[in-house]
Protein backbone atom coordinates (compact mmCIF):
# COMPACT_ATOMS: atom_id res chain seq x y z
CA UNK A 1 0.00 0.00 0.00
CA UNK A 2 1.45 3.37 -0.92
CA UNK A 3 1.80 6.24 1.52
CA UNK A 4 -0.78 8.44 -0.25
CA UNK A 5 -3.42 5.73 0.13
CA UNK A 6 -2.55 5.22 3.82
CA UNK A 7 -2.80 8.95 4.52
CA UNK A 8 -6.10 9.18 2.60
CA UNK A 9 -7.56 6.29 4.65
CA UNK A 10 -6.46 7.97 7.88
CA UNK A 11 -8.06 11.24 6.81
CA UNK A 12 -11.26 9.47 5.72
CA UNK A 13 -11.51 7.66 9.07
CA UNK A 14 -10.78 10.72 11.22
CA UNK A 15 -13.74 12.18 13.12
CA UNK A 16 -13.84 15.55 11.33
CA UNK A 17 -17.32 16.50 12.47
CA UNK A 18 -16.16 17.11 16.01
CA UNK A 19 -13.25 19.18 14.73
CA UNK A 20 -15.43 21.49 12.64
CA UNK A 21 -13.64 20.68 9.37
CA UNK A 22 -15.66 20.12 6.23
CA UNK A 23 -14.66 17.03 4.28
CA UNK A 24 -15.67 16.31 0.69
CA UNK A 25 -18.14 13.68 1.91
CA UNK A 26 -19.67 16.00 4.51
CA UNK A 27 -19.94 18.72 1.83
CA UNK A 28 -21.84 16.31 -0.43
CA UNK A 29 -24.13 15.22 2.40
CA UNK A 30 -24.79 18.78 3.61
CA UNK A 31 -25.54 20.12 0.13
CA UNK A 32 -26.98 17.13 -1.70
CA UNK A 33 -28.07 14.70 1.00
CA UNK A 34 -31.82 15.10 0.55
CA UNK A 35 -32.41 14.71 -3.18
CA UNK A 36 -35.58 12.98 -4.36
CA UNK A 37 -35.57 10.14 -6.92
CA UNK A 38 -37.83 10.78 -9.91
CA UNK A 39 -38.50 8.23 -12.65
CA UNK A 40 -38.25 9.80 -16.11
CA UNK A 41 -38.55 7.30 -18.96
CA UNK A 42 -35.78 4.75 -18.35
CA UNK A 43 -33.80 6.97 -15.97
CA UNK A 44 -33.91 7.60 -12.26
CA UNK A 45 -33.05 11.24 -11.70
CA UNK A 46 -32.20 12.63 -8.27
CA UNK A 47 -33.45 16.19 -7.99
CA UNK A 48 -33.87 18.90 -5.38
CA UNK A 49 -37.24 20.28 -4.23
CA UNK A 50 -37.31 22.62 -7.24
CA UNK A 51 -36.93 19.71 -9.66
CA UNK A 52 -33.34 20.53 -10.62
CA UNK A 53 -31.43 17.29 -11.26
CA UNK A 54 -28.02 16.56 -9.78
CA UNK A 55 -27.41 12.98 -10.89
CA UNK A 56 -29.11 10.16 -12.73
CA UNK A 57 -28.65 6.59 -13.86
CA UNK A 58 -30.52 4.16 -16.08
CA UNK A 59 -33.01 1.85 -14.37
CA UNK A 60 -32.23 -1.24 -16.40
CA UNK A 61 -28.48 -0.68 -16.06
CA UNK A 62 -28.20 -0.64 -19.86
CA UNK A 63 -25.38 1.89 -19.62
CA UNK A 64 -22.82 -0.31 -17.84
CA UNK A 65 -23.81 0.95 -14.40
CA UNK A 66 -22.76 4.53 -15.01
CA UNK A 67 -24.16 7.24 -12.77
CA UNK A 68 -24.06 10.68 -14.35
CA UNK A 69 -23.10 13.37 -11.83
CA UNK A 70 -23.56 17.06 -12.59
CA UNK A 71 -20.18 18.46 -13.56
CA UNK A 72 -20.93 22.11 -12.77
CA UNK A 73 -22.77 21.55 -9.50
CA UNK A 74 -20.80 18.66 -7.97
CA UNK A 75 -17.87 17.23 -9.94
CA UNK A 76 -16.07 20.50 -10.66
CA UNK A 77 -16.57 21.77 -7.10
CA UNK A 78 -14.92 18.66 -5.67
CA UNK A 79 -12.01 19.14 -8.07
CA UNK A 80 -11.49 22.83 -7.34
CA UNK A 81 -12.55 23.27 -3.71
CA UNK A 82 -10.97 20.05 -2.43
CA UNK A 83 -8.29 19.75 -5.14
CA UNK A 84 -9.42 16.26 -6.07
CA UNK A 85 -8.44 14.49 -9.25
CA UNK A 86 -11.05 12.47 -11.19
CA UNK A 87 -10.23 9.23 -9.37
CA UNK A 88 -10.72 10.87 -5.98
CA UNK A 89 -14.00 12.44 -7.13
CA UNK A 90 -15.21 8.99 -8.22
CA UNK A 91 -14.21 7.50 -4.86
CA UNK A 92 -16.00 10.10 -2.72
CA UNK A 93 -19.13 10.21 -4.92
CA UNK A 94 -19.30 6.40 -4.87
CA UNK A 95 -19.18 6.50 -1.06
CA UNK A 96 -21.82 9.28 -1.00
CA UNK A 97 -24.17 7.36 -3.33
CA UNK A 98 -23.83 4.25 -1.17
CA UNK A 99 -24.08 5.86 2.27
CA UNK A 100 -26.78 8.45 1.58
CA UNK A 101 -28.90 6.83 -1.13
CA UNK A 102 -28.12 3.13 -0.74
CA UNK A 103 -27.03 2.95 -4.39
CA UNK A 104 -24.39 0.31 -4.98
CA UNK A 105 -22.74 -1.00 -8.11
CA UNK A 106 -22.79 2.37 -9.89
CA UNK A 107 -19.75 4.06 -11.40
CA UNK A 108 -19.90 7.85 -11.12
CA UNK A 109 -18.88 9.89 -14.15
CA UNK A 110 -19.06 13.59 -14.89
CA UNK A 111 -21.99 14.90 -16.90
CA UNK A 112 -21.83 18.22 -18.71
CA UNK A 113 -25.56 18.73 -19.22
CA UNK A 114 -26.32 17.03 -22.51
CA UNK A 115 -27.69 13.53 -22.77
CA UNK A 116 -26.05 12.06 -25.89
CA UNK A 117 -28.81 9.50 -26.36
CA UNK A 118 -31.99 11.54 -26.10
CA UNK A 119 -30.44 14.97 -26.64
CA UNK A 120 -32.41 16.29 -23.66
CA UNK A 121 -30.63 18.60 -21.33
CA UNK A 122 -30.62 17.29 -17.79
CA UNK A 123 -28.17 19.10 -15.62
CA UNK A 124 -27.47 22.40 -17.33
CA UNK A 125 -30.03 24.33 -15.29
CA UNK A 126 -32.78 24.46 -17.94
CA UNK A 127 -34.34 21.04 -17.40
CA UNK A 128 -36.47 20.24 -14.38
CA UNK A 129 -38.46 17.21 -13.28
CA UNK A 130 -41.66 17.08 -11.29
CA UNK A 131 -40.90 16.19 -7.69
CA UNK A 132 -43.84 14.87 -5.69
109 belongs to a structural domain:
yes
Angle, CA 27 vertex, CA 61 and CA 53 arms, to 5°: 40
121 belongs to a structural domain:
yes
7 belongs to a structural domain:
no
- Angle, helices 86-101 vs 24-32, to 10°: value is 50
13 belongs to a structural domain:
no
Tens-place pLDDT, residues 105-116: 999 998 876 444
16 belongs to a structural domain:
no
Q: How many folded domains does the chain comprise?
A: 1
Tell me which residue range forms the domain holding 78: 22-132
Tens-place pLDDT, residues 34-92: 999 999 888 899 999 988 889 999 987 666 889 999 988 999 999 999 999 999 999 99
3 belongs to a structural domain:
no
Burial class (CB in 10 A: 0-12, 13-18, 19+), 53: buried
83 belongs to a structural domain:
yes
* pTM, to two decimals: 0.75
C-alpha to C-alpha distances, 15 to 4, 10, 18, 25, nearest whole angstrom? 19, 10, 6, 12
81 belongs to a structural domain:
yes
Amino acid sequence: MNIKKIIKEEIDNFDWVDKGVETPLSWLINNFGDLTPVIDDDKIIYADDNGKPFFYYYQDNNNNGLCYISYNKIWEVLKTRFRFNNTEVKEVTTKWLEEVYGLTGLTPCEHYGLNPIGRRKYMDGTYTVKVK
